[in-house]
Amino acid sequence: MKLIPTRSRAFVREALGWLSTLFIAGVLTFLVSTFLVGSNEVFSCSMQPTLVEGNRILVSHLAYTLGTPRRGEIVVFDPPVTPASPTPYVKRVIGLAGEQLDIANGKVCINGQELLEPYVKGETRAIRWVHLLIPPGTVFLMGDNRENSYDSRSFGPVPISSLQGRAVLRYWPLDSPQPF
């Protein structure tokens, strides 16, 4: 039987300690990014001027596990288009389940009241949905850049189960972080 010198045993112990630390850090990173907070890049101009191509946002994955969407929130979701896009969409919640949504004369009305939207770029035009009762379990989503956004006006209300989470912070570019 060959004995391993004390120095070699200390090295092996140290290496195993580092490997276990790296493994635990990797597992924790995976769990946090999957279930708590993730990062998404904005790939289109549909949310201008709030978000532009190349911006990066932190997304709370717990937001809709613990609560429900609220009007005005920016959400990341799986697009309900065929074929399904591998890239999640980023849009704003405009209408909630059970509400009457109307689009006319460039304005959005919810239950007969004009929705004040200081973040909107361009005129809101109805593409398909002009008068709609938003079904249970869904939300109506639109981009801030109304003249250049593929959103619920084209594909209809989105199931809440398709929402990946709520945008909580634009962190890139670093010189202009913005909480939402």
- The residues facing 55 across adjacent strands are none
Six-digit token string for 116: 């004040």
Task: Please identify which of the residues 46, 60, 149, 152 carries the catalytic annotation.
Answer: 46
Can 39 be counted among the known catalytic residues?
no
Measured CA angle at 47 (ends 141, 155), to 5 deg: 35
Listed in sequence order, the residues at least 6 apart from 38 whose beta carbon sits closer than 8 Å to its beta carbon are 58, 59, 61, 164, 165
Can 91 be counted among the known catalytic residues?
yes
Task: Please identify which of the residues 91, 121, 149, 152 carries the catalytic annotation.
Answer: 91
**Contact assessment for residue 92 and residue 143, using Cβ atoms and an 8 Å cutoff:** yes
Residues annotated as part of the active site: 46, 91
